[in-house]
Amino acid sequence: MKYRLLFFAISTIATGVLNAGGFNLYEFGARASCMGGTGVAYPWDASTIFYNPSGIAFLEGTQFYGGLDLVTSKAKFTGNQPILGGTEHETKENWFTPIHFYFSQRFNENLAAGVGVTNPFGLGVEWKDDFPGRIISRSSEIISFYFSPVVAYALSEGLSVSGGLDVVFSRVELKRSTYIFDSPGSIGYEVAEVTLKGPSNVGVGFTASLMYKSEKGGIGFMYRHKVKQKFKDGDATFEIFQNLSVPQAVAIATGALIDQNVSTELTYPNIAVAGIYHKPFDWFGYEVNVNWFGWSTVDQLVLNFSAEDPDDQLPTQTVHLNYSDSWQVRVGVNFKPIEKLDIYGGYIYDLTPQPIESVGPLLPDANRSDFSIGAGYAMGKFRVDAGAMLVNFEERSTVEDGEGKNDNGFDGTYNSLANLYFLSLGFNL
């Protein structure tokens, strides 16, 4: 079966799940998002369940806050000369809609509880059909849901602590082209599209936080523990292209393209956030946060395959990721020109966790500078907040000192840009 020399880089597909670490969303509440994703040091609304659950001890009565983000991104790849000819290729423009819903209840002067629903991993990348890197990735998408019940207790008039759980479920879908090589060193035949998709088991993590609040500001700290996601029921399936040439048809006839079951596991990182809010004037305040993501806990993925016929089963594969811990600095400001109106602004500097060897078509990442702006308006017990954020990625090349560094030999330069739009509605009883 000489045509059974199958270039089936499903291990490369799987790294797309964790490249989403560089695409972790932290914008789950329009007011906080417009202030650069700050919120650990002051409880503006029920979205404090995400940013610092201790804040619900300072919210009056029953609170609801919810809405969605609209996220769109574009990436451009310029191939390395002379191998990829310096050609330029772009992703398709897709829209994603991460959600956020929060409910909190203060029972007395000390005790409060709440629950939040968010999906901080909910993005993807889809390249146009002529993209030369489709053997690595045609498209990748991951979505996760965090269900987060929390309890907070006020130790004193201005100091609160909290604890809670994160109950997490994820789903992933990744596509790429499959090639078959009839001899070592041949250019190969593009014969099918393979799709890897599947749900995870439910994973559980926890949060712990504290907040001190005064009339002139506040300080806060929040820790979110890592969550392991086990994908035991994944499927790798092939869609064979029509009108294949004779050698390709022979290769398929030998049974090279056999659907497989695949299992693996990944870990979303632990996160620590500290910040301070200061309100020097009644009409102006600002917050500074430092966020740490523990991506170094993720160093490899192990993929296990199974097929009905053991002879068709792919061997276990190990993907080395070598992610690094990453930091973010977030700054937010709020102005109140009149009683019912708030104006927000923010800036974020975000360091990527992705090493140069892992930068590729799945979800290319780079250091980022983000700029946000927005406004909010209160109408009695109701309020609405809306705004936008520009995410500007630094140019990222996989060529260093004239040498290509990408693990798959697919070297070039990536330029990316993303836009986020926020809308949240809230009310209190």
Per residue in 315-332, pLDDT (tens digit) is 787 777 788 999 999 999
Decide: 137 and 127 in contact? Cβ < 8 Å.
yes
| Residue whose C-alpha is closest to residue 374's, from 23, 25, 29, 50 | 29
Side chain identity, residue 96: F
| Residue whose C-alpha is closest to residue 413's, from 130, 133, 107, 44 | 133
User: Which tokens in the block code for residue 104?
Assistant: 């909190």
Average pLDDT over residues 154-172: 95
Residue 186 has pLDDT above 80, yes or no: no
Which pLDDT does position 135 carry in this prediction?
82
3-state secondary structure of 9: coil
Residue 240 has pLDDT above 70, yes or no: yes
CA–CA gap between residue 79 and residue 413 (Å, rounded): 7
Local confidence band at 283 (pLDDT 50, 70, 90 cut-offs): very high
Local confidence band at 17 (pLDDT 50, 70, 90 cut-offs): very low
Residue showing tokens 């939040």: 116
What single string gives the DSSP state of each residue in 67-132? EEEEEEEEEEEEEPTTTTTT-EEEB--EEE--EEEEEEEE-SSSEEEEEEEE-S---EEEB-TT-G
Average pLDDT over residues 301-311: 81
Residue 264 has pLDDT above 80, yes or no: yes
Decide: 28 and 123 in contact? Cβ < 8 Å.
no
Superfamily name with CATH number, domain 2-428: Outer membrane protein transport protein (OMPP1/FadL/TodX) (2.40.160.60)
Residue 40 has pLDDT above 90, yes or no: yes
Residue showing tokens 């936008």: 388
Picking from 50-64, 74-88, 288-302, 383-397, which range would have the lowest pLDDT averaged per residue?
74-88
Which pLDDT does position 181 carry in this prediction?
67
CA–CA gap between residue 374 and residue 13 (Å, rounded): 37
Picking from 5-9, 244-248, 312-316, which range would have the lowest pLDDT averaged per residue?
5-9
Give the end-to-end CA distance of the chain in Å, rounded to a whole number: 71
Would the pTM count as exceeding 0.85?
A: yes
152: phi then psi, degrees, rounded to nearest 5: -125, 150
- The vertex-121 CA angle with 115 and 122, nearest 5°, equals 105
Local confidence band at 304 (pLDDT 50, 70, 90 cut-offs): confident
Decide: 176 and 135 in contact? Cβ < 8 Å.
yes
Higher pLDDT, 256 or 402: 402
Tell me: the pLDDT tens digits for 221-234?
999 999 999 988 88
Higher pLDDT, 412 or 249: 412
- The vertex-35 CA angle with 29 and 40, nearest 5°, equals 70
CA–CA gap between residue 113 and residue 358 (Å, rounded): 41
C-alpha dist (Å) from residue 30 to 293, 397, 423 = 22, 33, 6
Residue showing tokens 């191939």: 79
Structure letter (DSSP) for residue 314: P
Average pLDDT over residues 251-279: 84
Residue 303 has pLDDT above 90, yes or no: no
3-state secondary structure of 59: coil
The mean predicted confidence, pLDDT, of the chain is 87
Average pLDDT over residues 377-385: 96
Residue 400 has pLDDT above 80, yes or no: yes
Which pLDDT does position 54 carry in this prediction?
98
Average pLDDT over residues 112-133: 88
CA–CA gap between residue 208 and residue 53 (Å, rounded): 8
CA–CA gap between residue 88 and residue 74 (Å, rounded): 13
Residue 179 has pLDDT above 70, yes or no: yes
Which pLDDT does position 363 carry in this prediction?
72
310 contacts: CB under 8 Å, gap ≥ 6: none
Average pLDDT over residues 367-388: 96
163: phi then psi, degrees, rounded to nearest 5: -145, 155
Decide: 423 and 64 in contact? Cβ < 8 Å.
no
CA–CA gap between residue 220 and residue 228 (Å, rounded): 26
> Which span out of 23-37, 203-217, 285-299 was modeled with the highest average pLDDT?
203-217
Local confidence band at 20 (pLDDT 50, 70, 90 cut-offs): very low
Which pLDDT does position 10 carry in this prediction?
43
Tell me: the pLDDT tens digits for 51-69?
999 999 999 999 999 999 9
The count of other CB atoms within 10 Å of the CB of residue 184 is 6
Side chain identity, residue 116: G
227-240 vs 260-268, strand pairing mode: antiparallel
In the chain, DSSP finds a helix count (H) and a strand count (E) of: 4, 26
